[in-house]
Amino acid sequence: MAERKARRGADRGTLRTPGRDDRGWGGAAEAGRGADEPRAPHHESLGSRLNWLRAGVLGANDGIVSTAGLVVGVAGATASGSAVLVAGVAGMFSGALSMAAGEYVSVGTQRDTERAALARERRELEEDPEAELEELAGMYRERGLDADLAHRVAEQLTARDALRAHAEVELKLDSDELTDPWQAALASFLSFIVGALVPLLLITLSPGGWRVPVTVAAVAGAVAVTGAVSARLGGADPRRAALRSVVGGLLAMAVTFGIGTAVGGATGV
Ligand SMILES: [Zn+2]
């Protein structure tokens, strides 16, 4: 549980990166650019694209494991294919919506925090530009530039886009990477659905006696792939991650199958 939470947290950290929101930077144009000066074109960095991919793979993994556990559990309780299908579809959407809502809240809160910090910075720049210039120069001196060069760098960056310069150096915010909660929510929703379709389709389409073994085997294969891919994207050992994912997935299905069988036996569904 703790591990899952920690990983969710990590997902959030990666998901926020690519979301770019021009609205958040309306003030940047006011503070730093002339009205006729166009925004510099934005090129999404390779790192940010990899983060998106990694978050998507992890979302798919969640969809696979949680839906597999659900449908295998219901299959343990009842031979009814339609009961399994209804439970699986409901579980797929509830899981995807819950992921999306969680992501929206988390990323939205983060964006509010970032916007508040930017608004404060903008106000400081308006109220006391000299002190802010000195502050920026001081931060470049701390980074190892000599006093003269630090001052010139600070002056030039301030002339170009003061708010952007302060955001990057002082707040460690990349100007073009303000978070978009809707984008993050949609990405979680879709990746969860894609993952959930694997066990849902397999258990629905497999012939009666084969549905559980086929689903278990396919899910083990699918989570081996998601585990290995996400480890690769993160620079970790893919084989160990694949093994861990398979063990986790099998354990989840074994537990829910056991519970489903016990509850089904007790209630006589
Ligand atoms: Zn500042």
Give me ligand 1 centre to Cα 10, in Å: 29
Per-residue model confidence as pLDDT tens digits over 252-266:
999 999 999 999 888
H helix or E strand, kind and range, residue 105: helix 81-127
Give me ligand 1 centre to Cα 162, in Å: 9
Per-residue model confidence as pLDDT tens digits over 19-71:
333 333 333 333 333 444 444 444 556 666 777 788 889 899 999 999 999 99
Per-residue model confidence as pLDDT tens digits over 197-222:
999 999 999 988 899 999 999 999 99
Give me ligand 1 centre to Cα 156, in Å: 15
Give me ligand 1 centre to Cα 105, in Å: 28
**What is the Cα gyration radius of the chain?**
25
Give me ligand 1 centre to Cα 160, in Å: 15
The full length of the chain comes to 269
Which residues lie below 8 Å from residue 181, measured CB to CB, with a gap of 6+? 19, 103, 104, 105, 107, 108, 111
Give me ligand 1 centre to Cα 133, in Å: 8
Give me ligand 1 centre to Cα 116, in Å: 13
Give me ligand 1 centre to Cα 49, in Å: 29
The answer to whether the beta carbons of residues 199 and 91 sit under 8 Å apart is: no
Per-residue model confidence as pLDDT tens digits over 160-178:
999 999 998 888 887 566 5
pLDDT at 60: 95
Which residues lie below 8 Å from residue 173, measured CB to CB, with a gap of 6+? 114, 117, 118, 167
Confidence of residue 83 (pLDDT cuts 50, 70, 90): very high
Give me ligand 1 centre to Cα 129, in Å: 9
Q: Within 13 Å of residue 215, how many CA atoms lie on the same side as its CB? A: 36
DSSP assignment, residue 56? Answer: H
Give me ligand 1 centre to Cα 103, in Å: 30
Give me ligand 1 centre to Cα 121, in Å: 6
**Alpha-carbon distances, residue 148 vs 107, 142, 145 (angstroms):** 40, 13, 8
Confidence of residue 104 (pLDDT cuts 50, 70, 90): very high
Give me ligand 1 centre to Cα 115, in Å: 14
Residue percentage of the chain with pLDDT more than 90: 60
Give me ligand 1 centre to Cα 22, in Å: 21
Give me ligand 1 centre to Cα 118, in Å: 9
Give me ligand 1 centre to Cα 135, in Å: 6
Give me ligand 1 centre to Cα 106, in Å: 26
